[in-house]
Amino acid sequence: MRLVLASRSPQRRAILERLGVDFVVRPGDVDELAHGDPDTVARENALRKAAAAAPGEGEVVLAVDTIVALDGELYGKPQSAADARRTLGALSGRTHTVISGVVLLEGGGEPLVHSAATAVSFREIDQRLLEWYVATGEWQERSGGYAVQQAGGALVRQIEGDYTNVVGLPLALLLDVWPSLLDAVPSSPAVR
């Protein structure tokens, strides 16, 4: 099986590369849901991404959509520095949930659809910390306006659950539902 990652996310690519997994990148352009039940939105967006990648013979498409939710509100990718300030201000001193919808779609098969949730508690973000972080520019193209694996880690007090889910690819879930992922590692004993 050839793994196709239906994502432009450099974080998802990096996680797979660190594992040594062979894959190709084939993102598609889709209209994503921005409102609704967080778990449903994440799953549906991942399904749309998987379908857009159109798996061929011998291919498995991996599509993921990661969202940030707090009190039923979804916090997507901020569109401006002012939007990033509003988002981070809303998350300040509170615990939000990072939800990833994960879809595996094999050519001609039914999609496997799952989701993972991780609780992330932010420290109180004072004006100095907020302006410092917004100036990094990391908030761009990031759900919730932060990158936990980079300078955004300074905003976080505690994580309960899968850290890689917060980065953008819930590895624990992925290996639970598709253990043969490691067969795509060239040095894996399973493919010798």
**Active-site amino acid positions:** 65
Q: Please give the Cα distance from 53 to 104 (Å, whole number).
A: 11
Asked if 97 and 119 touch (Cβ cutoff 8 Å), the reply is: yes
Please write down the HEC assignment for all residues of the chain: CEEEECCCCHHHHHHHHHHCCCCEECCCCCCCCCCCCHHHHHHHHHHHHHHHHCCCCCEEEEEEEEEEEECCEEECCCCCHHHHHHHHHHHCCCEEEEEEEEEEEECCCCCEEEEEEEEEEECCCCHHHHHHHHHHCCCCCCHHHCCCCCHHHHHEEEEECCHHHHHCCCHHHHHHHCHHHHHHCCCCHHHC
